[in-house]
Amino acid sequence: MTSVPRATSQAAPRAGADLRIPLLYLAMAVLLVVTGWIMGANYALTIVNMGLISAIMALGVNLQWGYAGLFNIGVLGFLALGGLATVLVAMPPVVEAWEAGGLRVMAGLVLGFVTILGLVQIWKRMAPGRARTWSMIVFGVAGLLVTRWVFDPGVAAVEAVSPASTGYLGGLGLPVLLAWPAGGLLAAGAAWVIGKTALGLRSDYLAIATLGIGEIILAVLKNEDWLARGVKNVVGIPSPVPQAIQLQNDPDFVARAAQLGYDPVTASTLWNKILYMGLFAAVLLVVLVLAQLALHSPWGRMMRAIRDNEVAAEAMGKDVTRRHLQIFVLGSAVIGIAGAMMVTLDGQLTPGSYQPLRYTFLIWVMVIVGGSGNNWGAILGGFLIWWLWVVVEPLGRWIFAHLIGVLPEGSWLAGHLAGAEAHMRLLTMGVLLLLVLRFSPRGLIPER
Amino acid sequence: MIEVHDLHKHFGGFRAVDGASLSIRPGTITGLIGPNGAGKTTLFNVIAGRLPPTSGRVTMGGEDITGLPPHELFHKGLLRTFQIAHEFSSMTVRENLMMVPPNQSGESIWNAWFARGRIRQEEARLARKADEVLEFLTIRHLADEKAGNLSGGQKKLLELGRTMMVDARIVFLDEVGAGVNRTLLNTIGDAIVRLNRERGYTFCVIEHDMDFIGRLCDPVIVMAEGKVLAEGPAESIMRNEAVIEAYLGRGLRNKGAA
C-alpha cells in the first residue's frame, strides 16, 4: 500500500476544470467593473452588496438542496423571519404599547403555547380512542377561547397606540449586528418545528409543505400588526455603519474626502456602501469556510451518502431523519442570517414586498445556474443572477430605445417593443435558465 | 442468532409473508431459496426494519428486534445488501466504504469545524481499512472510481465490501449473484466463505443459482407462497419432492433420474 489518500480524494479532474472557477469569477468581476465604469461606482457597489447577500442565500439553499437533496421552496419565509429578527432586536421598545397591552399579548402567547403542549400530552398519555379524541377537541377549543380572550384585547390596545407611527411592541433596542445571528436562530427554530413535522415527507411533498409554510409565515408577518406593524412596514431600522448623512456632517471625513479629491456627498455614499460590503463579505467568508469545512469532512460524506441513497445510508447505520433535520435547520439558519442582513441594508422591513418570484424562485435560479452541490457555484450564481436581475431592465430599455429610434415613427413593432420592456427581467431569467439547463445542466460550476 | 416467529406481512389482501417461522443459527451460511414472489425479499425487508410486520416477532440473540429501524439494527450488528445494488453513486468506491463505520468523530459537524486533526487521523485509518477491503475483494484498482460508474457485479462486490468495514454479526445478502458473471460470482462466493470462517460472520443468502447455493449454504431454507416449505442440507433439499414441485421443477428430477 502506498500513500494514504485523503478522505475526499477524487478521480483526477479533467484538464482545465481547475481553471474554470477562477476564470468564471474573473469574468464576474469584469462584469461588475464594467458596470461600475458605465453606470458609476455607486451603482456597482449597490449590486455587489446585494450580490453578497444573495450569495449567502444561495449557500443556504445549496446546503439543503445541493448537499442533502431537501427541496425547500419556502425560502422567502425564512428570509422574512430573519428580517423580523432585525426589527425585534434593533428597534427601540415602544414603552407606551408595552404599558397598554404588552403583558396581555405575552400572556396570550404563553397560553397558546401551553394549549399546544397540553394537546401533545393528551395525545401521548391517553390511549387512542374516542375518549382521547373528545378530550383533545374540548381542551383545544377551550384553550383557543381562553387564549383569544386574553390575547385579543392586548393586541387591540397595542395596535391603538399611535398606529400611524408605532402601533406595535417594538424591539429590544440592541445593536443591529446582533440581529444577524438572531435572524439565523429564529429561522433555525422555525425550521426545527417545520422539519419535525414535514421532513418525513418525500421530496415533492416537502416542496409543497415548505411552499405553504413560507406563505403562512409571510401571512403572519403581514397581518399581526402588534408584532412588526404588518403591511404598514417598519422603517428607520438602525444601521451598523455610519450613514451618508452622518458622514457628511463629520468634518474629519469631509476633510479626508477633500484630500482624496472627492466631494463629500459622493465620498460618503461610497464609503457607507464600502463599509457594508466589508461586513457582508466577512459574513459570506465565515459561512463559506464553515460550509466547506463541514462538507469536506466525514459529516459531508455522510450527507452526500444520504442524498445519493437514503435507504442504503439508513441500512449503513445513519439516522437519516435526524440528519435531514440537522441540515434543514442549518440551511435555514443561513437563509435567516441573509434575511436579517438584507433588512439591515434596506433599513426597513416591508412584508408586502416579499414575492415568491423574487425571494424563492430567484434564489433557486442562482443555485441551479451556479451549480448545485458546489458552494463556489452557489456564490457565483448569487452574484451573476443578481447582477442580471438589476442590469437587465436599464439595459433592455437602452436597447429598445435604440431599436425604436431606428424604426419608422408609429410603427407597430415600436409600440410592441415599448410595451415589452417591463417583461425583460422575467424573459431573461427564463432564457438563461433554459440555456444553462440545455448546455450545462449541472450548472456553471458543477459539483465535481 | 435470528429467530422469526409466525411472521406476517400483508399488503392489502395480498399476503407476501404468511406465517413464516425460521431460525438462522450463528456461524452458518443459511441459504434462502424459493420461486419469485415467495416472499423472500419481503421477509428480508421486515427483518431488516425496512417494512413493519403485520404481525409476528423477530428476535436476535434473544432480544426482540421487531420493527426497529434499519440504522438501529446496523448498530446491533445486523447488516444487509440489496437485490438491486444501492451504491452511493456520486461518491468514489473508497468513500462508499469509508462512510460505513459508525460513530466517526467527523460525523459531528462541530468536530468537522474544530477537531480537524483528530479527523485526519481517523480518516487515514479508515482509508487504509477501505483499501484492505478492496484488496480482499480484488477491486483495489477501482478505489477512486465513482461508484455509479461500476458494473452491476462490481456494485454487488462494493455492497459486500461495505459490510466488511465493521464487525457485523449477521449479514443478509439479497440476490448477491443477480446479473453477475461466473468469475465474479466465484469471487463473491470465496469472499463470503472467508468472512464466515475467518471473521465469524453469519450469513443469510437469497440466491437463485443452485450451484452457488449448493456450494456455499448449509442449511437451506425454502420458501413458497409466504411460508417456509422445507429446511435442511442442500442435497436433501434438492431431492425434496415438495421443493421440486414448487421451485426446482420436474426437469431437474428427470435429469437426476436419467
* pTM for the full predicted model: 0.90
CB pairs under 8 A between A and B: 122
Which positions of chain B have pLDDT values less than 70?
249-258
Q: Distance of CA B173 to CAs A90, B50, B68, B73, B165, Å?
A: 60, 15, 19, 15, 16
For residue A5, pLDDT over 50 is answered with: no
For residue A243, pLDDT over 80 is answered with: yes
Report the C-alpha gap between B66 and A149 in whole angstroms: 48
Q: Predicted confidence band at A283 (pLDDT cuts at 50, 70, 90)?
A: very high
Q: Predicted confidence band at A17 (pLDDT cuts at 50, 70, 90)?
A: low
Mean pLDDT over all residues of chain A?
A: 91
User: How do residues A81-91 score in pLDDT, each as one tens digit?
Assistant: 999 999 999 99
| B78: β partners | B170
Question: Do B74 and B110 fall into the same domain?
Answer: no
Q: Quick check: A375 and A268 in contact, CB under 8 A?
A: no
Angle at A288 between CA A284 and CA A294, to 5 degrees: 150
Final residue of a domain: which of B129, B149, B169?
B149
Interface membership of B86 toward A (CB under 8 Å): yes
User: How do residues A153-172 score in pLDDT, each as one tens digit?
Assistant: 999 999 999 888 889 999 99
Question: For residue A304, what pLDDT is reported?
Answer: 93
Report the C-alpha gap between A215 and A354 in whole angstroms: 10
What is the number of structural domains in chain B? 2
Q: Quick check: A257 and A267 in contact, CB under 8 A?
A: yes
Residue A182: name the closest of A101, A87, A256 by CA. A87
Q: Predicted confidence band at A396 (pLDDT cuts at 50, 70, 90)?
A: confident
Domain containing residue B207: CATH number: 3.40.50.300
By Cβ distance, the residue of A5, A10, A298 closest to B107 is A298
A310 against B253, higher pLDDT: A310
Measured in angstroms, the CA of B3 and the nearest CA of chain A are apart by 20
For residue A13, pLDDT over 70 is answered with: no
| B227: β partners | B224
Cβ separation A311–B50 shorter than 8 A = yes
Cell numbers describing residue B147: 461508484
For residue A403, pLDDT over 90 is answered with: no
| B20: β partners | B7
By Cβ distance, the residue of A1, A5, A314 closest to B94 is A5
How do beta strands B29-33 and B202-206 pair?
A: parallel
Nearest-10 crossing angle of helices A264-295, A375-406: 140
Question: Do B66 and B103 fall into the same domain?
Answer: no
Question: For residue B246, what pLDDT is reported?
Answer: 78
The full set of domain ranges for chain A reads 21-93+170-439, 94-169
Interface of A with B (CB under 8 A): 1, 4-11, 290, 293-294, 297-302, 304-305, 308-309, 311-320, 326, 330, 447-448
Instruction: Return the CATH class of domain A21-93+170-439.
Output: mainly alpha
Report the C-alpha gap between A378 and A445 in whole angstroms: 8
Cβ separation A308–B95 shorter than 8 A = no
Q: Distance of CA B235 to CAs B31, B89, B217, B239, B246, Å?
A: 12, 40, 10, 7, 16
| Residue A63 DSSP SS3 | helix
For residue A7, pLDDT over 60 is answered with: no
Mutate to test the interface with A, among B46, B84, B88 (most CBs of A within 10 A): B88
Question: For residue B250, what pLDDT is reported?
Answer: 59
Amino acid making up residue B104: Q
Q: Predicted confidence band at A97 (pLDDT cuts at 50, 70, 90)?
A: very high
H or E element at residue A176: none
Question: Do B197 and B236 fall into the same domain?
Answer: yes
Q: Distance of CA A398 to CAs A30, A33, A401, B126, Å?
A: 21, 19, 5, 60
Report the C-alpha gap between B203 and A248 in whole angstroms: 80
A170: left (phi over 0), alpha (psi -120 to 50) or beta: left
Question: Do B125 and B163 fall into the same domain?
Answer: no
End-to-end CA distance of chain B: 41
Question: Do B66 and B194 fall into the same domain?
Answer: yes
Residues of A in contact with B102 (CB under 8 A): 317
Domain of B101, in residue numbers: 88-149
Question: For residue A421, what pLDDT is reported?
Answer: 73
For residue A223, pLDDT over 90 is answered with: yes
Final residue of a domain: which of B118, B149, B180?
B149
For residue A110, pLDDT over 50 is answered with: yes
For residue A190, pLDDT over 90 is answered with: yes
Q: Quick check: A344 and A239 in contact, CB under 8 A?
A: yes
Report the C-alpha gap between A405 and A423 in whole angstroms: 20
Give the mean model confidence (pLDDT) for residues A295-318: 94
| Residue A432 DSSP SS3 | helix
A23: burial class by Cβ within 10 Å (0-12, 13-18, 19+)? exposed
Question: Do B233 and B161 fall into the same domain?
Answer: yes
Question: For residue A293, what pLDDT is reported?
Answer: 94
Question: Do B164 and B227 fall into the same domain?
Answer: yes
Cβ separation A312–B143 shorter than 8 A = no
Q: Which ranges constitute the DSSP H helices of B83-240?
A: 93-98, 109-114, 116-136, 152-163, 182-199, 210-216, 234-239
Final residue of a domain: which of B149, B169, B202?
B149
Cβ separation B100–A300 shorter than 8 A = no
For residue A2, pLDDT over 50 is answered with: no
Question: For residue B256, what pLDDT is reported?
Answer: 45
Cβ separation A315–B74 shorter than 8 A = yes
Residue B208: name the closest of B176, B233, B186, B237 by CA. B176
Measured in angstroms, the CA of B158 and the nearest CA of chain A are apart by 12
Please tell me what DSSP assigns to residue B105. G
Question: Do B214 and B247 fall into the same domain?
Answer: yes
Mutate to test the interface with B, among A9, A293, A299 (most CBs of B within 10 A): A299
Q: Produce one character per residue of A183-211: b if its CB has 16 or more CB atoms within 10 Å, e if not.
A: bbbbbbebbeebbeebbeeeeeebbebbb
Please tell me what DSSP assigns to residue A321. H
Question: For residue A35, what pLDDT is reported?
Answer: 94
Residue A89: Cβ within 10 Å count: 25
User: How do residues A36-66 score in pLDDT, each as one tens digit?
Assistant: 999 999 999 999 999 999 999 999 999 999 9
Residue labelled with grid coordinates 423477530:
B58
Q: Quick check: A316 and B72 in contact, CB under 8 A?
A: no
**B 140-159 residues inside an 8 A Cβ radius of A:** 143-146
Cβ separation B127–A5 shorter than 8 A = yes
| Closest chain A residue by Cα to residue B97 | A316
Question: For residue A361, what pLDDT is reported?
Answer: 93
